Structure 1
Amino acid sequence: MAICELEFPAGLKANEFDNPELLANALADHVAERLTAAIANNPHGIATLVVSGGKSPVAFFQALAQKPIEWSKVVISLADERWVPTEHADSNAGLLKRFLFQGPAEKAGFFSLYRPTQTLEEAAAATDEALKELPKIDVLILGMGDDGHTASLFPDSPNLPEALDLNGERRCLPMLAPSTPHQRLTMTRSLLASAATPILSVSGQAKLETLRTALAGDDLAEMPIRAFLNPSLEIYWCP
Structure 2
Amino acid sequence: MEVNAHLIWQLLANVDRVAEEAGQRILIAANQAIQTRGYFRIVLAGGRTPEQTYSLLTKADTNWSKWHVYYGDERCLPEADEERNSNMAARAWLNAVAIPSPQIHPIPAQLGAIAAARRYTEIIKPILPFDLVLLGMGEDGHTASLFPNQVHSPHELVHPIFNAPKPPTERVSLSILALSQTRELIFLITGRNKREAVAAWQRGDNLPVAQIRALHKATVLIDSMAIP
> Fold conserved (TM > 0.5)?
yes
Q: Where does structure 2 lack aligned partners over 5 or more consecutive residues? A: none
Match of 1:177 among 150, 164, 167: 164
Are 1:112 and 2:106 an aligned pair?
yes
Alpha-carbon distance in 2 for matches of 1:83, 1:195: 25
* Structure 2 letter corresponding to 1:214: W
Alpha-carbon distance in 1 for matches of 2:98, 2:191: 28
Q: Where does structure 1 lack aligned partners over 5 or more consecutive residues? A: 1-7
Alpha-carbon distance in 2 for matches of 1:145, 1:181: 15
* Structure 2 letter corresponding to 1:235: V
- Map 1:44-83 → 2, pairs under 5 A: 45-83=38-76
Q: Figure out how many residues of one structure are paired with residues of the other and give that number.
A: 219
| Secondary structure at 1:147 match in 2 | coil
In the TM superposition, residue 10 of structure 1 has moved relative to its aligned partner by 4.4
Deviations 1:99-132 (A, max 9, x none): 0214335547211111543x42122222222222
Distance 1:218 1:156, change over 3 A: closer
Sequence identity (%): 24
Q: Which residue of 2 aligns with 1:30?
A: 25
Alpha-carbon distance in 1 for matches of 2:4, 2:158: 29
Q: Which residue of 1 aligns with 2:34?
A: 39
- TM-score scaled by length of structure 2: 0.87
- TM-score scaled by length of structure 1: 0.83
Alpha-carbon distance in 1 for matches of 2:168, 2:181: 30
Runs of 4+ in structure 1 deviating by more than 6 angstroms, as ranges, are none
Distance 1:179 1:73, change over 3 A: same
| Secondary structure at 2:48 match in 1 | coil
CA RMSD of aligned residues (A): 2.1
Preserved CA contact (<8 Å) 1:150 1:224: yes
Q: Which residue of 2 aligns with 1:235?
A: 220
| Secondary structure at 1:56 match in 2 | helix
